[in-house]
Structure 1
Amino acid sequence: MEDTNQTGPIHFHFRPFSKLPEVQVLIFVILLVLYVVSISGNVSIFLLIWVSRGLHTPMYFFLANLAALEVFYSSTIAPLTLASVLASESTLISLPGCGAQMFFFIFLGSADCILLAVMAYDRFVAICHPLRYSVLMSWGLCVRLALGSLLLGFILAMQLTVLIFQLPFCSSSKEISLFYCDVLPVLRLACADTRVHEATLFVVSVIVLTIPFLLISLSYVFIVSAILKIRSAEGRHKAFSTCSSHLTVVLLQYGCGSLIYLCPSSSYSPQRGRVVSVVYTFITPVLNPLIYSMRNRELKDALRRAATRFLF
């Protein structure tokens, strides 16, 4: 009851990865390398698409937007995580700071997932309606789809964050079981009934994860059917190569998100949550540029030309 009536500023702190200094240093080095590689890879893809006139097409426009989202998404989590890992004492984060981090995490993560569905639609039009592609995927529509992804992510993040941070927080420990302010660990620190908030989180998760994934799956049913009708083996290989990169990223992103946000909140495990969170906050942003650069011939050719111009 003493915590319920406290009037001072509320601070949270994150659960440390380990209490052993040697392990902490090792974790810091690994996470720092992943963060630097993620930023370098995604910035390189964005700049490469920006400067290469041959890549100024809707597909690469969406890929550049995805790379930019990954840069900001990683930067929302990584700097504070690295600081807390290396700190000798628990790193405190204020209530407004935690709310801001949660908002940008939900906003950018939601926009990321919605944009992947937009990219699947772009591939569907390119493969199933190639003769009408330039008409159906006009630059005006591409810009509206990209802005729509950001707007929907912004609205969902704002509503969920405001709803959660209206709760009273009176837990004596105020220890967040993850290394950033995620929804479920923060809800566990509230001293009020959170069933409405958990239901809202589930609805948002369905909008961000389930509906886009179903649309992506439907698009790929038509895409695979159209690819199998291509007579040229080289044409089929090029189409499958283009789509396999996107599909790999989709499975990583949606698979990790579903393990956390589409499971019942009563079955939430902090240990599982921490492992899965490391995957989609540090590892997935690293894999995205690697997957696209390795599987996309046009991107590799543009990178080779850009490197040649830079060196010679």
Structure 2
Amino acid sequence: MWNSSSMVQFLLLALADRRELQLLHFWLFLAISLAALLANGLILSAVACDHHLHTPMGFFLLNLSLTDLGCICTTVPKAMHNSLWDTTTISYTGCAAQLFFFFFVSAEFSLLTIMCYDRYVAICKPLHYGTLLGSRACAHMAAAAWATGFLYSLLHTANTFSLPLCQGNVLGQFFCEIPHILKLSCSHSGYLREIGLLMVSSCLVFGCFVFIVFSYVQIFRAVLRIPSQQGRHKAFSTCLPHLAVLSLFVSSVLLSHLKPPSISSPSLDLALSVLYSVVPPALNPLIYSLRNQELKDALRKTMTGCFSGAIMCQVSDV
């Protein structure tokens, strides 16, 4: 029997067996991570520097970009390292750190719920928007989202890694994830305790999901009552980026964790894991920038300023 004091490392799921495919995965992950870092970095700079984006939605979008950066930096670097060096190992402390920093995913879902509330107030209660979503209220909601994710990961990481492990050290995932670590446990009481925590977390997530569905039902009803077609289109277009990001995130997580066992396979599980842990951080900035004219203008100014600064530096050097 192993426990937290004797376990040295875990073995992660290999992305591929052939060396050519391993290198292909490395370059693919490198391209996705660089795209996510560049896109989210530009959004952070644009929101911070452009006063037109100093709005509640801009503030929440800034926080969403931070969670996207955290998500991409939690799982991808180790996967790239293992693919490049043809290994599948991760240290015990590295696995615990990876599991803990996965709180960015929890914080992202909380932020998406808050951003849904922002759209609800903007469309259904526009006269109260400044009151309900003042700077203090936005700061409190963002802090609550981050604190919820932090507490979630702290509790689950502490409880999961306090369990004695007696089923080997092989994880059926390319990163450390609670369900796969629980399969290695031989403590019945600890296993039930963690399952209880997961059930409580699932209930909270379900509550957020119900709130999102209810909010969008009210939003659609309010939009359909707008007399002009142009007004309906403008109101609905402000919700489209959030709805697209939310749908991508929720659908990929549900497919990964709630798919029927009959269709489960290692390749499908791996693809779905990549879909919900790696792809959204890279696509979220693109989705928001395509539908938000103010954000597109701010990004254009930011990129123009960066290029102009680089050209001026080169000229001065010459």
TM-score by length of 1: 0.91
1:202 equivalenced with 2:199 (yes/no): yes
1:273 equivalenced with 2:249 (yes/no): no
In the TM superposition, residue 235 of structure 1 has moved relative to its aligned partner by 2.2
Amino acid paired to 1:31:
F
Task: Give the distance between the partners of 2:75 and 2:82, measured in 1 at CA.
Answer: 11
In the TM superposition, residue 180 of structure 1 has moved relative to its aligned partner by 0.6
Compared CA separation, residues 204 and 137, structure 1 to 2 (3 A): same
In the TM superposition, residue 259 of structure 1 has moved relative to its aligned partner by 2.8
Equivalent residue, structure 2, for 1:99: 96
Compared CA separation, residues 262 and 58, structure 1 to 2 (3 A): same
Q: CA RMSD in A?
A: 2.2
Uncovered stretches (5+) of structure 2, i.e. residues with no partner? 309-318
8 Å contact from structure 2 (residues 3, 163) kept in 1:
no
In the TM superposition, residue 268 of structure 1 has moved relative to its aligned partner by 7.2
Equivalent residue, structure 2, for 1:46: 44
39-48 vs 3-12, which moves further: 3-12
Amino acid paired to 2:101:
F
8 Å contact from structure 1 (residues 171, 191) kept in 2:
yes
1:289 equivalenced with 2:289 (yes/no): no
- For 1:47-66, list aligned pairs within 5 A: 47-66=45-64
Task: Give the distance between the partners of 2:237 and 2:284, measured in 1 at CA.
Answer: 15
Deviations 1:70-107 (A, max 9, x none): 001110111111001111333x22222211110111x1
1:188 to 173, 183, 190: 183
Amino acid paired to 2:187:
A
Task: Give the distance between the partners of 1:115 and 1:27, measured in 2 at CA.
Answer: 30
Deviations 1:251-299 (A, max 9, x none): 1111122234456999976544322110012111111011101111111
Equivalent residue, structure 2, for 1:87: 85
Task: Give the distance between the partners of 1:142 and 1:73, measured in 2 at CA.
Answer: 22
8 Å contact from structure 2 (residues 64, 108) kept in 1:
yes
In the TM superposition, residue 33 of structure 1 has moved relative to its aligned partner by 0.6
SS of the equivalent of 2:94 reads helix
Q: How many residues align?
A: 306
Deviations 1:106-143 (A, max 9, x none): x1111100110000001111111112211111100000
SS of the equivalent of 1:18 reads coil
SS of the equivalent of 1:175 reads coil
Equivalent residue, structure 2, for 1:220: 216
1:121 equivalenced with 2:125 (yes/no): no
In the TM superposition, residue 222 of structure 1 has moved relative to its aligned partner by 0.9
Task: Give the distance between the partners of 1:282 and 1:87, measured in 2 at CA.
Answer: 20
8 Å contact from structure 1 (residues 198, 265) kept in 2:
no
Task: Give the distance between the partners of 1:73 and 1:302, measured in 2 at CA.
Answer: 24
1:18 equivalenced with 2:13 (yes/no): no
8 Å contact from structure 1 (residues 202, 261) kept in 2:
no
Equivalent residue, structure 1, for 2:251: 255
Task: Give the distance between the partners of 1:192 and 1:240, measured in 2 at CA.
Answer: 51
1:36 equivalenced with 2:34 (yes/no): yes
Compared CA separation, residues 227 and 291, structure 1 to 2 (3 A): same
Equivalent residue, structure 1, for 2:69: 71
52-61 vs 210-219, which moves further: 210-219
Deviations 1:162-185 (A, max 9, x none): 11111112233x121111101111
Amino acid paired to 1:198:
I
Task: Give the distance between the partners of 2:245 and 2:73, measured in 1 at CA.
Answer: 19
1:303 equivalenced with 2:293 (yes/no): no
76-85 vs 294-303, which moves further: 294-303
Amino acid paired to 1:222:
Q
Amino acid paired to 1:183:
I
Amino acid paired to 1:218:
F
Amino acid paired to 2:13:
R
Task: Give the distance between the partners of 1:224 and 1:188, measured in 2 at CA.
Answer: 43
Uncovered stretches (5+) of structure 1, i.e. residues with no partner? none
